[in-house]
Amino acid sequence: MSSQIESHDDVNDGKTPVRTGDADGLPETREHDPFADPGLPAHKPRIQDLDERAAKRSERVVTLLFTVSMLATVGFILSYALIPIDAITYIWPFGNVSPLNFSLGMTLGLALFCIGAGAVHWSRTLMSDEESAQERHPIEATPAVKAAVMEDFRKGTEESGIGFGRRKMIRNSMFGALALVPLSGIVLLRDLGPSPEGGAPLRRTMWEEGTLIINENTGQPLRPEDMVVGSLVQAMPEGLDLHDHHFHEEIAKAAVMLVRLEPEDIKDQQSADWGHEGILCYSKICTHIGCPATLYEQQTHHALCPCHQSTFDLSDGARVLFGPAGHALPQLRITVNEDGYLAAMGDFEEPPGPSFWERG
């Protein structure tokens, strides 16, 4: 077995290689060349072409398929009319499914499939299967056509004066007008939304000094004694209601989670100071793209984001341990007010949520 390229008689200079076989299959070389194209093989008949009974059988199969399709459509209509929409039935092996959905889908599927199967079987067994060849023609125009087109083009440009000195001003001003007119469309897009004001709305949230921390489950303000070590509470600022017009915009920035750790487990002193007796309140909006990073493991104090696995160490100022997040979750400074409820001591010191250009 040779592994070097030899000069083959069917390969010329590399830049314009020539195909073998079909290249100028001159009759006299065909005898010499063992790899010459033997040409389209003679058509061999199918059993249906020879045996009329086989052809009849195919015909019956095709008719049967089309008939099954008709019956399936009837079945579809009957299912639609008869099966209640809220029924649930166990159908092996799919489970407790809607019999309406199942039978509509199966009958529709069958009706369609049988039409297709019938048509294909018909074409495969009863229509001619003799292959024929059609010539391809080069796509490139002949030099004569090309010359004629160039001449026409030249004539056209000359008549309009576009390519020549005479009407330069028209041409240039037309290009200018065409270039400018789409600007109107772009300008119109300006009012798609308000100005970002250098990111100002992304920096402020509803948290202010004294804002009570509301437990999302109970809708009530939270007391420190409600939380035991190892517990997790999803919370929002006081004054925000699910029915508010701007609920989604506000909660998208202000959502927090509270965890309670043994105070000696907290590694970061500032973080401990910003909490209350081991209760820490963090923004739960991931700093990567903004998913709630609330997969809290109470033994390791890790909070994981389910979207891209950014992992934050809540015992260490929500430092990033793993994943694509670029910085820690902002911590909300909390205290206990005179009524014994947990309350914020102000807004987040840095913007919560995903980074943005002006974040700094």
Partner 1 sequence: MKKLSVRRRHPLAAFVVLIFALAATGGLYAALAPAGEAKADASETSIAIEEGQKLYAVGCASCHGAGGQGSSDGPTLVGVGAAAVDFQVSTGRMPMQQPGPQAPTKPNIYSEEEIAQLAAYIASLGPGPGVPEASAYDPSEGNAAHGGELFRTNCSQCHNFTGQGGALTHGKYAPNLHDVDPKHIYQAMLTGPQAMPSFPDAVLPPEQKRDIIAWLTAVNTSESPSPGGFGLGGFGPVAEGLFAWTFGIGLLVAVAVWVAAHTAKARKS
Partner 2 sequence: MSTTTNPPKRETRSGAPAGEKVADWADGRLGVYTVAKSNMRKIFPDHWSFLLGEICLYAFVILLLTGVYLTLFFVPSMAEIEYEGSYIPMQGVLMSEAYASTLNISFDVRGGLLMREIHHWSALLFVVGIFFHMMRVFFTGAFRKPREINWLFGFALLVLAILTGLTGYSLPDDLLSGVGIRFMEGAILSVPVVGTWLQMLVFGGEFPGSLIIPRFFVAHVLLLPGLMLGLLVAHLLLVVYHKHTHFAGPGRTNDNVVGMPLFPVYMAKAGGFFFLVFGVIAMIAATTSINPVWVLGPYRPDQISTNAQPDWYLGFSEGLVRMMPGWEMVIPGGYTLNLGLLVPLIVFPLVFAVIALYPFFEGWVTKDKREHHIAERPRNAPTRTAVGVAWLSWYFVALVAGGNDIWAIHFDLSINAITWWTRISFFVLPVIVFIITRRICLGLQRRDREKVLHGRETGIIKRLPHGEFIEVHEPLSAEKRYALTAHDQPRPAELGPSVDENGVPRKVGPLERLRVRINRGYYGPSGQIPKPTAEEYREITSGHGHH
Among 54, 55, 61, 104, binds partner 2 (CB under 8 A): 104
* Residue 326 lies near partner 2 (rule: CB under 8 A): yes
Q: Which two tokens stand for residue 101?
A: 């959905």
Q: Which two tokens stand for residue 3?
A: 């592994």
Question: Which residues contact residue 76 at a Cβ distance below 8 angstroms, ignoring those fewer than 6 apart?
Answer: 103, 104, 107, 108, 111
User: Out of 63, 67, 123, 218, which residue is the one contacting partner 2 (CB under 8 A)?
Assistant: 123
Return the one option of partner 1, partner 2, none that residue 106 interacts with (CB less than 5 to 8 A, by type): partner 2
Among 35, 34, 32, 42, CA closest to 21: 35
Helical (H) or strand (E) element with 256: strand 256-260
Q: Which amino acid is it at 321?
A: L
Residue 212 binding target from partner 2, partner 1, none, CB below 5 to 8 Å by type: none
Q: Smallest distance, Å, CB 350 to partner 1?
A: 23
**Residue 288 contact among partner 2, partner 1, none, beta carbon within 5 to 8 Å by kind:** partner 2
# binding residues, partner 1 (CB under 8 A): 54
Verify binding: residue 320, partner 1, rule CB under 8 A: no
Coil, strand or helix: which one is 207?
Answer: coil
Q: Any contact of residue 230 with partner 1 (CB under 8 A)?
A: yes
Quick one: which H or E segment has residue 95? strand 95-97
**Contacted entry of partner 1, partner 2, none for residue 243, CB cut-off 5 to 8 Å set by kind:** partner 2
The CA-CA-CA angle for residues 199, 204, 208, to 5°, reads 165
CB of 158 to partner 2, least distance (A): 30
Give the residue with the Cβ less far from partner 2, 30 or 57. Answer: 30
**How far apart are CB 67 and partner 2 at their closest, in Å?**
15
C-beta of 221 vs 351, nearer to partner 1 = 221
> Which one among 58, 68, 111, 266 touches partner 2, defined by CB under 8 A?
111
Integer-rounded Cα radius of gyration of the chain: 38
State the pairing for strand pair 331-332/89-91.
unpaired
- Contacts to partner 2 from residues 248-307, by CB under 8 A: 248-249, 251-253, 255, 284-285, 288-292, 294-295, 306-307
CB 270 within 8 A of CB 317: yes
Using CB atoms within 10 A of its CB, is residue 303 exposed (0-12), middle (13-18) or buried (19+)?
buried
- Of residues 267-296, which lie at the interface with partner 1 (CB under 8 A)? 292, 294-296
237 binding partner 2? (CB under 8 A): no
Q: Nearest CA to 253 among 196, 202, 304, 328?
A: 202
- Residue 50: contacted member of partner 2, partner 1, none (CB under 5 to 8 Å, by partner type): partner 1
Q: Please tell me the count of residues contacting partner 2 according to CB under 8 A.
A: 121
* SS3 (DSSP) at 209: strand
Asked if residue 87 binds partner 2 (CB under 8 A), the reply is no
Q: Note whether 360 and 208 are within 8 A (CB).
A: no
Chosen residue from 40, 177, 178, 181 binding partner 2 by CB under 8 A: 40
Q: Reduced to 3 states, what is the DSSP secondary structure of residue 162?
A: coil
Residue selected from 68, 100, 259, 332 as contacting partner 2 according to rule CB under 8 A: 100
Strand-pair category, 331-332 with 279-283: antiparallel
Backbone CA torsion sign across 341, 342, 346, 351: negative
Q: Give yes or no for residue 102 binding partner 2 (CB under 8 A).
A: yes
Binding site for partner 1 (CB under 8 A): 1, 3, 44-51, 88, 93-98, 101-102, 105, 120, 124-125, 129, 215-218, 222-223, 225-228, 230-234, 259, 292, 294-300, 302, 304, 306, 309, 311, 322
